[in-house]
C-alpha cells in the first residue's frame, strides 16, 4: 500500500467534525491516513486497528475520541437557515425555512447553501478555537424536512410546507449547496431530519404515528427519498416518535430496508438527542416521557445495533453499554464495525483525515462569516407573500404605499421593533427590525410615529434545551441539581443529578431519596445562550421555601416566600445573544411548610407602552398605519405546539380599533405557520405575510410595503379558516381532509396563493405530446404575460388530476413549478417537464407503484386558481 510521503509540520485535526488544529500529529505511517487509497481501503485499515471501545468513542459525541491515532470526536452543528454553530461567532441569518419555501425558488436555496457552507469552512479553517482545539463543525443536523401536515405543529416554521414536491425540491437544493460539487471532497455534510412523521411537540418523546404504507410512500417519504437520491445527503436523523408502534430508532424496515436498501443511502444515521435513552425504562425520572421498552441501557444499545438502524449516537451508550452488550454476546462486533464504517466514511469524504493543504476551501478567510447580507435581503424579499390588497374608497389598493404622498406613518404592533428569527438561528451582525427598516426607507423627511406594544403578564416558559449549553454525558441540555439535607444550601452534599427543567411540586415526597430532613435545600445551575438580545423577564413561582436567583454569580432575586400560598417573583434583565450566562436557582424549604413548589422560567423580550390606547391616537394622526403583528417563538417552537388558532385576541382587538381610526392600515404578519383568522381578513385591507424573515427582514418588509420589491412569494401551505376544519391533530391520515391534496372546505387562503403589485395572464398551454409512454416525459410550455405596469415575479404551478379511479385519490397534486421574472408589458415562455413515473400512486394490493391511463394537466398560479388545462394519456411501454 502507498503511504503519505510527507509528514505534516503542523498538527491537524482528524476528527469527523473538528477544527484544523489537533492536539497530536496524525499518524502518516498507517494506510488510513493515505489519501491516495480508496475510502474502503482506508476504512479496512482503521477498522482493524481500533478496539471496540475506541470505535464506540468515534461514533458518539462528547468524548476525546482516539488520541493514539489523533482521532477526535464529533462537534455537532446546526444550519437550519444559516450557520448556527457555535453561536459565539456571528453568521448570516437567512429567513426561516417556511419563508424560504415561500420563495418557490430552489436555485436561490442552493446559493444560500453555498453561502452557509462558505461560512462553515471559513470558521473551520480560520476561526478561533472553540474547545478541545476545534474551531467549528462541518457536519450539520439540517435541514428539517418533516412535512407540515398540520398548522398546530410547533415546528412548522422549520419545515418547507405541506407539499411533498416543494418540500423535496427546496431541501434537496439546500443540501446540494451545503455539500458542494467538488469532485473529491464534500464541502460540508448535511443531515435531513427527523425520519419520519415527527409532527407533534406535546408528545414527541413518546408519540406514535399510525400511517399506512400507501401514505408513507406517497406523502411522508418523498422529500427524504429525493434528498438522498438527488441531493446525496450524508446524514439522516431519526425521530423520537414511533412509527406504527415501533420507535424510529429501532425500526429496521424504516432504516435498513427502505432508507439504505431501496434508496441507497450511504451516509450515517443518528438518533435525535437522547432517543436511544428514551426507549429505556425509567427515563421518565429524568423529566421526560419516552417509550420505555427495554429494562436497561445495555439492552437498549443491543436493540439498536441488532436492528441495524443507528450508526451514530449522541449519548454515551455506544461507547459504554454497547461495549458491555458485545462482551456479553448480545451483539456481534460486526454490527459495531458496520456503524463505525458508515460514520467514518463521511469524515473521509469531508477530507477530515487528509492534509489540510488539500482542502479546496482552506483559504476562505474568517471574515467570510456574516458577509452574505445581500443574499439574505434577496431571499427575504422573495419570501414575502401578499395575502390581500383590497381597494380603498378611491378604488385603488392600499399597497404599495406611495412615499411621496405621506408626511407621517404610524408603526404599531407587538412585532414592530422585534426581529423574530425563529428557531435554530445564528447570531447576526446589525440585524434590522421592521421599525428600523421603515425608518431607514423613509429617512428624515417623513415622521414615523411608533408606539411600543403593551403586554399582559404572560406565563413563564421553560428555557428551551437548545439554548442551554450545560450538557450531560448524553449531550442533552440540563440543569445540574445539588441536594443538601439542610436548609442552608451549603455544607455536605447529600446527592446530585441532572434535570430537564425546574418545575416541581413536592408535598409528601422530597426532591431526592437521599434527603432525610424535612428542611432541605436544592441548588440548580446551568449555562444559557439566549435566543435573542433584549430585556427578559425572569421569574420564579414558589411556595413553602425561600428562593434565590443568581446570574453569573451575582444576586438577581430573593424572596422568603409563603407557606400557605403560591407567589411569583420576577425581575427584568438585559441579555445579549452573543454571550453565555450562568443561572443559579436556590430553594430552601421553610419550616412547617406542607407544600414546596418551585418553578423557574422566563419571558422573551417585549417592550411595554407608557400608556394604553396609544395605537389609536397615532393612527388618527398618521397618513398611513403599518401594524406588525403575528406570532413568535413564545407561541410556536420546538417542544411547544400552538395553543390557539389565529392571532392572539388582543391583537385582533387592537387592529379593529386602528382600522376604524385609519382605514389606510397595512398589516404585516410574522409567523412560522398559518394564521387562521377570518376576522383579520375581514378587518385589514392589506396583509403581507413576512414569516420570520432573517436579519434583513426589516429592510425587506419596508422595500415591499413601499413598492421597491414587488412581492412574488406564494404560500407553501394552506391557511385554513379554523382548526375545526381539520382532522384531529394526532391523526396522520391526510386523506381525511388535510392539506390542499384532500382539503375540500373553503380555505382562508389556498396553497400556492400570493398576489402581486402587477397582473399576469397565462396562455397558450402547449403539451407537446397528448399520449406519452409510461417511461417517458411530459413536456409543456406556457406563456406568462405581465399585463400590468410593474416588473414582477410569477410562479407557474403545474398540478395533475387523476382521471381514473383509485383509492385515496387526491383532488390534485403539484408536479412542477417555476418562478419567473417578467417585465411590465412583456411575455416569457416557461417550459416544464414531468417524468411520467412521477404520476404513479402506491397500490396497496401489489405493494408497488402503479400508473393510471388518463390525467388532467392543470396550470395556474395557485391551487385554487387553475387557468389552463389539458388531458393526456399514458401508454404502456411496447
Active site residues: 272
Cell digits for 264? 441507497
658: helix, coil or strand? helix
Classify residue 424 as exposed, middle or buried by CB count within 10 Å of its CB (0-12, 13-18, 19+): buried
Q: Are 141 and 152 in contact (CB under 8 A)?
A: no
Q: Are 331 and 302 in contact (CB under 8 A)?
A: yes
Cell digits for 527? 449555562
C-alpha 619, offset from chain centre? 36
Q: Are 112 and 379 in contact (CB under 8 A)?
A: yes
CA torsion through residues 429, 631, 530, 558, sign: positive
Nearest-angstrom CA–CA distance, 801 and 227: 25
Torsion angles phi and psi, residue 384, rounded to 5:
-65, 130
Nearest-angstrom CA–CA distance, 44 and 55: 13
CB atoms within 10 A of CB 648: 16
Cell digits for 429? 451582525
Pairing relation of β-strands 567-575 and 534-543?
A: antiparallel
Nearest-angstrom CA–CA distance, 433 and 688: 16
C-alpha 609, offset from chain centre? 32
Q: Are 17 and 139 in contact (CB under 8 A)?
A: yes
Q: Is the peptide bond before 676 cis (omega within 30 degrees of 0)?
A: no
Q: Of 344, 268, 349, nearest to 309 (Cα)?
A: 268
240: helix, coil or strand? coil
Q: Of 335, 439, 370, 392, nearest to 88 (Cα)?
A: 370
Q: Of 110, 208, 198, 201, nearest to 147 (Cα)?
A: 198
Beta bridge partners of 558: 548
Q: Are 311 and 269 in contact (CB under 8 A)?
A: yes
Nearest-angstrom CA–CA distance, 569 and 78: 35
Beta bridge partners of 797: 817, 860
Pairing relation of β-strands 854-860 and 792-802?
A: antiparallel
Q: Of 533, 529, 532, 538, nearest to 462 (Cα)?
A: 538
Q: Are 633 and 418 in contact (CB under 8 A)?
A: no
C-alpha 3, offset from chain centre? 43
Quickly list DSSP for 794-843: EEEEEEEEE-S--TT--S-EEEEEEEEEE-TT-EEEEEEEEEGGGG-EEE
The total number of residues shown for the chain amounts to: 878
Cell digits for 790? 410593474
Cell digits for 478? 440540563
Amino acid at each position: 500500500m502507498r503511504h503519505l510521503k510527507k509528514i505534516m509540520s503542523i498538527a491537524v485535526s482528524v476528527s469527523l467534525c473538528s477544527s484544523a488544529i489537533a492536539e497530536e500529529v496524525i499518524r502518516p505511517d498507517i494506510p488510513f491516513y493515505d489519501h491516495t487509497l480508496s475510502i474502503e481501503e482506508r476504512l479496512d485499515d482503521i477498522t482493524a486497528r481500533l478496539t471496540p471501545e475506541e470505535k464506540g468513542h468515534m461514533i458518539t459525541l462528547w468524548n476525546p475520541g482516539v488520541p493514539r491515532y489523533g482521532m477526535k470526536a464529533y462537534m455537532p452543528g446546526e444550519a437550519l437557515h444559516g450557520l448556527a454553530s457555535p453561536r459565539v461567532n456571528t453568521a448570516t441569518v437567512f429567513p426561516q425555512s417556511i419563508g424560504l419555501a415561500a420563495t418557490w425558488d430552489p436555485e436561490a436555496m442552493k446559493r444560500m447553501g453555498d453561502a452557509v457552507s462558505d461560512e462553515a469552512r471559513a470558521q473551520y479553517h480560520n476561526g478561533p478555537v472553540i474547545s478541545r482545539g476545534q474551531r467549528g463543525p462541518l457536519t450539520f443536523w439540517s435541514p428539517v424536512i418533516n412535512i407540515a401536515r398540520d398548522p398546530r405543529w410547533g415546528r412548522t416554521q422549520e419545515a418547507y410546507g405541506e407539499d411533498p414536491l416543494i418540500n423535496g425540491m427546496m431541501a434537496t437544493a439546500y443540501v446540494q449547496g451545503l455539500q458542494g460539487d467538488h469532485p473529491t471532497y464534500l464541502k460540508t455534510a448535511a443531515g435531513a431530519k427527523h425520519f419520519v412523521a415527527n409532527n407533534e411537540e406535546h408528545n414527541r418523546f413518546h408519540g406514535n404515528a399510525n400511517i399506512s404504507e400507501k401514505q408513507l410512500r406517497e406523502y411522508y417519504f418523498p422529500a427524504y427519498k429525493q434528498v438522498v437520491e438527488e441531493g446525496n445527503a450524508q446524514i439522516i436523523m431519526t425521530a423520537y416518535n414511533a412509527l406504527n408502534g415501533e420507535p424510529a430508532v429501532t425500526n429496521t424496515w424504516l432504516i435498513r430496508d427502505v432508507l439504505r436498501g431501496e434508496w441507497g443511502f450511504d451516509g450515517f444515521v443518528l438518533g435525535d438527542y437522547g432517543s436511544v435513552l428514551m426507549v429505556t425504562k425509567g427515563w421518565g425520572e429524568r423529566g421526560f416521557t419516552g417509550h420505555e421498552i427495554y429494562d436497561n441501557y445495555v439492552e437498549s444499545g443491543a436493540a439498536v445495533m441488532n436492528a441495524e438502524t443507528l450508526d451514530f449516537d449522541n449519548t454515551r451508550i455506544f461507547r459504554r453499554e454497547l461495549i458491555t452488550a458485545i462482551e456479553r454476546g448480545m451483539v456481534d462486533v460486526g454490527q459495531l464495525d458496520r456503524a463505525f464504517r458508515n460514520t467514518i466514511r463521511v469524515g473521509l469524504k469531508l477530507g477530515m483525515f487528509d492534509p489540510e493543504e488539500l482542502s479546496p476551501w482552506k483559504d476562505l478567510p474568517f471574515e467570510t462569516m456574516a458577509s452574505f447580507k445581500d443574499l439574505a435581503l434577496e431571499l427575504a424579499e422573495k419570501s414575502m407573500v401578499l395575502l390581500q390588497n383590497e381597494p380603498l374608497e378611491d378604488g385603488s389598493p392600499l399597497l404599495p404605499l406611495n412615499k411621496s404622498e405621506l408626511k407621517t406613518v404610524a408603526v404599531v404592533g407587538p412585532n414592530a421593533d422585534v426581529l423574530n428569527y425563529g428557531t435554530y438561528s445564528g447570531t447576526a451582525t446589525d440585524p434590522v427590525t421592521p421599525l428600523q427598516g421603515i425608518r431607514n426607507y423613509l429617512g428624515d423627511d417623513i415622521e414615523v410615529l411608533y408606539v411600543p406594544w403593551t403586554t399582559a403578564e404572560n406565563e413563564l416558559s421553560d428555557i428551551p434545551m437548545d439554548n442551554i449549553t450545560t450538557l450531560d454525558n448524553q449531550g442533552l441540555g440540563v440543569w445540574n441539581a445539588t441536594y443538601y439535607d439542610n436548609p442552608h444550601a451549603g455544607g455536605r452534599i447529600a446527592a446530585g443529578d441532572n434535570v430537564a427543567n425546574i418545575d416541581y411540586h413536592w408535598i409528601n415526597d422530597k426532591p431526592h431519596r437521599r434527603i432525610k430532613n424535612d428542611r432541605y435545600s436544592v441548588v440548580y445551575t446551568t449555562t444559557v445562550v439566549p435566543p435573542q438580545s433584549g430585556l427578559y423577564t425572569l421569574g420564579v413561582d414558589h411556595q413553602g421555601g425561600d428562593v434565590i436567583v443568581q446570574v453569573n454569580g451575582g444576586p438577581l432575586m430573593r424572596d422568603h416566600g409563603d407557606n400557605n400560598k403560591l407567589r411569583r417573583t420576577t425581575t427584568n434583565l438585559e441579555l445579549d445573544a452573543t454571550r453565555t450566562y450562568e443561572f443559579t436557582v436556590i430553594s430552601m424549604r421553610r419550616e412547617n411548610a406542607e407544600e414546596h413548589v418551585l418553578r423557574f422560567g422566563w419571558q422573551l423580550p417585549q417592550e411595554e407602552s407608557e400608556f394604553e390606547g396609544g395605537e389609536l391616537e397615532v393612527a388618527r394622526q398618521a397618513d398611513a398605519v403599518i401594524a406588525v403583528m403575528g406570532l413568535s417563538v413564545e407561541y410556536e417552537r420546538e417542544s411547544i405546539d400552538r395553543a390557539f388558532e389565529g392571532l392572539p385576541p388582543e391583537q385582533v382587538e387592537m387592529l379593529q380599533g386602528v382600522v376604524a381610526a385609519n382605514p389606510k392600515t397595512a398589516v404585516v404578519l410574522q409567523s412560522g405557520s398559518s394564521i387562521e383568522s377570518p376576522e383579520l381578513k375581514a378587518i385589514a385591507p392589506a396583509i403581507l405575510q413576512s414569516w420570520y424573515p432573517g436579519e434583513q427582514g426589516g429592510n425587506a418588509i419596508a422595500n415591499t410595503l413601499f413598492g421597491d420589491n414587488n412581492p412574488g412569494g406564494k404560500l407553501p401551505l394552506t391557511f385554513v379558516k379554523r382548526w375545526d376544519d381539520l382532522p384531529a391533530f394526532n391523526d396522520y391520515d391526510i386523506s381525511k381532509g388535510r392539506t390542499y391534496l384532500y382539503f375540500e372546505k373553503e380555505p382562508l387562503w389556498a396553497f400556492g396563493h400570493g398576489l402581486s403589485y402587477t397582473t399576469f395572464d397565462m396562455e397558450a398551454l402547449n403539451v407537446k405530446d397528448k399520449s406519452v409512454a409510461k417511461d417517458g416525459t411530459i413536456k409543456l410550455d406556457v406563456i406568462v404575460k405581465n399585463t400590468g405596469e410593474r416588473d414582477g415575479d410569477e410562479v407557474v404551478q403545474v398540478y395533475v388530476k387523476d382521471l381514473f379511479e383509485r383509492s385515496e385519490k387526491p383532488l390534485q397534486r403539484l408536479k412542477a413549478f417555476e418562478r419567473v421574472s417578467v417585465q411590465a408589458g412583456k411575455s416569457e415562455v416557461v417550459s416544464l417537464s414531468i417524468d411520467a413515473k412521477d404520476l404513479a400512486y402506491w397500490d396497496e394490493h401489489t405493494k408497488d407503484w402503479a400508473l393510471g391511463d388518463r390525467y388532467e394537466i392543470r396550470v395556474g398560479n395557485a391551487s385554487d386558481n387553475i387557468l389552463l388545462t389539458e388531458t393526456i394519456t399514458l401508454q404502456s411501454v411496447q
